[in-house]
Amino acid sequence: MPASAPAPVKRSKKADQRAEMMEQILDAAEYLFGRHGLYGVTLKDVAQRVGVHHTLMNYYFTDKKKLFDTVFARRAPITSQRRVDALDAYEKSSGGKPTVEGALRAFLDTDLELYGNGGEGWQNYGRLGAQAANMPDGAALMDEHFDRVVLKLIGLLKRALPDCTEEDIFWGYHFVSGGLMLTLARSGRLDRLSGGLCSSDDFEAAKNRMATFMAGGFIETCRARTLARKQPAKAPAKRARKS
C-alpha cells in the first residue's frame, strides 16, 4: 500500500499574523525608502505608515539598514531571474549571432514590462532601486543581487560588438543603467519639461524607445572609437628653428 502524502503543516494564527505584519512593514518601508532614501526615513516613520506604535517595530527590526536590505532583497531575485531567462531565451533564438538591440530588449523590455504591469508594489520597488543605485551603500546590494544578470548582458554585447573594447562596452552599460534607473524613479521631471507631452509613468513608451536608443549609442560609440584606433598616429609637429 503506497504511503500517503504527509499532511500539510498548518501555521498557527500567531504565525500568520506575524507574516502579515511583516508584509505590511516591508510594503510601507518600500514606499518610504523609494521616495526618501535610506537616510530620509526612520523606523518610526515606517511604524506610522503601517499604523502601529513604533515600539512594535523593535520586534521585527531594530536596525534601519537591515530593514532596507530586507526590502531590497524581497523582489530582487524575481526581476533578476526574469531577465536571465529572457537573455537565455534570446541567446538561444539568435543562433549565436546576437545583436545589440536584441540583447538590450531582452534585458530592458523584460524589466520595464514588470514595473509597468506589476502594480503599485513594483513601481515602489523601482523607485527604491533608483535610490539604491545612487547611494554608496547601495552599490553592494546591486553587486549582490544583479551582477549575474548584468554580466550575462555584457557577454552578449561583447559577441554582438566583437571590435568594441571591453572598456567601451562597460561604459555603455553604465549609461544604460543610468537611463533605466532614471525611468524607474518616475520623478515627474520629464512631464514638466515636455509640458505634459511625455509621462514618466509611461513605461510602455519608455520600452518602445529605450533599447533602440541605447543600441544606437553603443554601435556609434564603438564604430567611432574603433576607427580612431586604426588611424595612424600623427608625428609630433616640428618646432621652427630660431634664426
**Within a domain: 55:** no
- The dihedral over CA atoms of 162, 164, 205, 76, expressed in degrees to the nearest 10, equals 80
pLDDT digits (tens, 9 = 90+) for 196-212: 999 999 999 999 999 99
**Within a domain: 62:** no
Sequence-distant (≥ 6) Cβ neighbours of residue 134 within 8 angstroms: 181
Confirm if 67 and 31 have CB atoms less than 8 A apart: no
**Within a domain: 1:** no
- Mapped onto helix, strand or coil, the DSSP state of residue 226 is helix
**Within a domain: 186:** yes
Grid cell listed for 26: 516591508
- What's 40's DSSP letter? G
pLDDT tens track of the chain, all 243 residues? 455 556 565 667 778 888 999 999 999 999 999 999 999 999 999 999 999 998 888 889 999 999 999 999 999 999 999 999 999 999 999 999 999 999 999 999 999 999 999 999 999 999 999 999 988 888 899 999 999 999 999 999 999 999 999 999 999 999 999 999 999 999 999 999 999 999 999 999 999 999 999 999 999 999 999 888 888 766 566 665 554
How many independent structural domains does the chain possess?
Answer: 1
Residue 149 structural domain? 75-229
CATH number assigned to the domain comprising residue 80: 1.10.357.10
**Within a domain: 57:** no
pLDDT digits (tens, 9 = 90+) for 7-59: 565 667 778 888 999 999 999 999 999 999 999 999 999 999 999 998 888 88
**Within a domain: 29:** no
Euclidean distance between CA atoms 143 and 103, whole angstroms: 21
User: In whole angstroms, how large is the CA radius of gyration of the chain?
Assistant: 24
pTM: 0.85
DSSP secondary structure string for all residues of 197-235: SS-TT-HHHHHHHHHHHHHHHHHHHHHHHHHHHHSPPPP
**Within a domain: 83:** yes
**Within a domain: 116:** yes
- What's 135's DSSP letter? S
